[in-house]
Amino acid sequence: SSNAPIVILYANVPVRPRDLSRRAIGRLVETGADSVQSFSRVGKHHPWWMVRVGEHGELAAWEGDTLFHGVYRRQMLPPAFVPDGGVMVVTRRALLREIPGVPDGPHGFLGRDRRAIETNEGDVIDIDAPIDLVVANAVLSSRSAPGAGIQRCVMEKSA
């Protein structure tokens, strides 16, 4: 059908939740959005903690005048998210750029009404650098190891 959602999965993402595509399709259908993309929380790489480093090592806030927005505990940061590459689901009209009023640019195929689904830390691993491959192998090995579910449960309870 020409109205069927189109799922985009990047080849450099070997680790993603089994139900991620289903969840994204569900959000697209339930909201009537042009696209749905998976996002994860930024955690310790929060934009409020970004700085500029001068030629002689001097620090300046990335934005505003106060370093770290005056926040020094991660738990006090407002939620911020980054696209994690786990999944994108788009309508045919969005993909073919048939939606009026969408600015040109590399993400124009996502349309105007863009929605998100959230993933947990470690749910999605994209491989952009050699260390990412090490992490992906470790995660996949731990998930397939005997007793991995028990180990993960114990780790989550102790955290």
Give the pLDDT score at 67: 93
Report the C-alpha gap between 42 and 79 in whole angstroms. Answer: 8
Q: What is the pLDDT of residues 49-101, one digit of tens each?
A: 999 999 999 999 999 999 999 999 999 999 999 999 999 999 999 999 999 99
Structure tokens at 56: 């002689």
Burial 21-58 (b: 16+ CB within 10 A, else e): bebbbebbeeeebbbbbbbbbeeeebebbeeeeeeeee
- Phi and psi at residue 130, in whole multiples of 5°? -55, -35
- Please name the residue that has the structure tokens 């993909």: 95
Q: What is the pLDDT of residues 99-120, one digit of tens each?
A: 999 999 999 999 999 999 999 9
